[in-house]
């Protein structure tokens, strides 16, 4: 087609009308988004659903829970806070919320101690919790803290060089302790010299890596605590077989010689240290219902149960893989030596013991023994499912009614798994078919214009 003045004018008019139509359509869409709202969910579940643990927590509320959010109507957080609270209300009949303009109610701001816009104040059975950042994990953690009906302390032994739940060193357990405190546990150090006995009403007692020998009085305190039905979380560390041999005897447990090793540490983890062991061989246990992924242990000791004492019911928690074994020789020259007492995996890395107490209405006594203390330390807590595993064990030991909001759990929709046929097909389409089609179309247009 030959171009003249009239045809050029028509093309310009057509372009102008097309631009006006596009701008008008965008303006109409913008106006519609301000007037109307539509929420869609493209996740694997095909509907908006909160984590199962949060839903169980909300449905377990026994009294009205009120949330007061302080955010102005024109604040950028207003819609986000409203949608967040609406999600909670959909899953709990006892949940009520209201949005308060802090500029219009300065008296309520002062009364509730609100410091910034977007804060949410939760009230439940006369207790209050402030959520400074309006996010689902923080709000759920606050609800769980309010829902805890028990003020029993969670004790951790100190005074012998143990790893501290409040410590910040790499070998300490301070990061794990912060998660426990956020979930409503009352952390209290227990120094044997400052107490005549371990309180029998404690949620549990944590023993993690004493570096010096215990006095006979401390041993008596611990055995008395266990005889009274106290719960225990014991993270076995180097030297425990010598320092805490009486506890092994009391529970009827033993340790295999050496440390559990990972022959494929460099391929799996990128470290040239076989003491790093990964495993996801979790037992079918209530404490592990929400644990997903692999756990990382460092220089773990394999547990043995030759003769459980005092009526304990023993259940495994975590096993090593079949390729692991308890190495007793030089770790720089790994070689399986059955003559030295080494055993091929799977090896027992963690177990639970429970028994019914004789006292009427006393319930069940629970103990967890893990063959490693490093996996919950500040240095390794963030690896794999270590945090989930630790929180699950504490919830089971403390018999938490709202056992467990799983912190840091990733969305199921963040990973796309494609097989080799799909990957090959996508590569052919995006690397060959589409570029070839574009080149062919360009050549065709060039040829047609050349002919015209």
Q: What are the average pLDDT values for consecutive 10-residue runs of the chain, which has 452 residues?
A: 75 88 90 71 52 77 88 89 88 87 90 87 84 83 71 86 91 92 84 79 90 86 90 92 90 90 84 88 87 90 80 90 88 83 90 83 84 92 91 83 42 61 88 91 88 78
Q: How far is CA 282 from CA 52, 269, 290, 371, 434, in A?
A: 20, 20, 11, 14, 46
Query: Burial code of 81-112, b = ≥16 C-beta within 10 A, e = fewer?
Result: beebbebbbeebeebebebbbbeeeeeebeeb
Residue 67: predicted pLDDT = 92
**What CATH number was assigned to the domain covering residues 152-398?**
3.40.50.880
**Helical residues (DSSP H) of 93-150, grouped into ranges:** 106-112, 136-147
User: What's the CA gap between 83 and 93, in Å, rounded?
Assistant: 17
- CA-to-CA distance for 183 and 332, rounded, in angstroms? 42
Of 263, 257, 258, 256, nearest in space to 278 by CA: 263
Closest by CA position to 378, among listed 177, 181, 173, 179: 173
What is the Cα–Cα distance from 142 to 61, expressed in whole angstroms?
13
Domain ranges within the chain, ordered by starting residue: 52-146, 152-398
Tell me what pLDDT residue 204 has.
92
Report domain 52-146's class.
Answer: alpha beta
Q: Is the pTM of this model over 0.95?
A: no
Determine the pLDDT at residue 358: 76
Q: Which of 181, 339, 323, 199 is nearest to 261 (CA)?
A: 323
């Amino acid at each position: 087609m030959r171009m003249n003045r009239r045809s050029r004018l028509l093309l310009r008019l057509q372009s102008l009308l097309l631009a006006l139509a596009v701008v008008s359509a965008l303006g109409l869409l913008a106006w519609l988004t301000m007037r109307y709202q539509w929420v869609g969910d493209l996740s694997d579940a095909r509907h908006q659903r909160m984590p199962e643990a949060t839903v169980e927590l909300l449905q377990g509320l026994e009294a009205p829970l009120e949330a007061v959010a302080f955010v102005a109507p024109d604040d950028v957080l207003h819609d986000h806070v409203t949608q967040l609270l609406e999600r909670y209300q959909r899953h709990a009949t006892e949940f009520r919320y209201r949005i308060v303009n802090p500029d219009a109610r300065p008296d309520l701001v002062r009364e509730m101690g609100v410091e910034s816009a977007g804060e949410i104040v939760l009230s439940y059975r006369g207790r209050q919790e402030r959520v400074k950042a309006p996010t689902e994990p923080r709000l759920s953690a606050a609800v769980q803290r309010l829902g805890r009906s028990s003020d029993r302390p969670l004790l951790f032994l100190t005074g012998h060089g143990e790893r501290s739940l409040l410590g910040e060193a790499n070998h300490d357990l301070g990061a794990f302790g912060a998660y426990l405190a956020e979930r409503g546990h009352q952390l209290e150090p227990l120094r044997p010299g400052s107490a005549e006995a371990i309180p029998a009403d404690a949620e549990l007692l944590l023993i993690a890596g004493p570096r010096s020998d215990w006095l006979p009085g401390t041993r008596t305190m611990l055995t008395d605590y266990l005889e009274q039905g106290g719960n225990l979380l014991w993270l076995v560390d180097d030297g425990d077989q010598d320092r805490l041999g009486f506890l092994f005897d009391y529970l009827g447990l033993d340790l295999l010689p050496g440390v559990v090793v990972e022959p494929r540490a460099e391929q799996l983890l990128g470290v040239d240290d076989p003491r790093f062991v990964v495993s996801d061989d979790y037992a079918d246990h209530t404490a592990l219902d929400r644990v997903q992924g692999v756990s990382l242990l460092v220089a773990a000791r394999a547990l043995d149960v030759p003769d459980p004492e005092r009526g304990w019911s023993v259940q495994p928690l975590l096993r090593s893989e079949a390729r692991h074994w308890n190495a007793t020789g030089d770790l720089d020259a790994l070689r399986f030596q059955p003559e030295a007492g080494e055993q091929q995996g799977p090896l027992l890395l963690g177990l639970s013991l429970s028994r019914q107490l004789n006292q009427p209405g006393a319930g069940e006594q629970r103990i967890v023994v893990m063959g490693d203390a490093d996996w919950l330390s500040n240095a390794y807590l963030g690896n794999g499912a270590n945090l989930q595993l630790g929180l699950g064990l504490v919830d089971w030991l403390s018999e938490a009614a709202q056992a467990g909001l799983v912190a840091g759990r990733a969305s199921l929709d963040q990973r796309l798994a494609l097989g080799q046929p799909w990957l090959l097909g996508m590569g052919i389409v995006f690397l060959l078919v589409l570029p070839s089609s574009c080149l062919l179309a360009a050549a065709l247009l060039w040829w047609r214009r050349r002919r015209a």
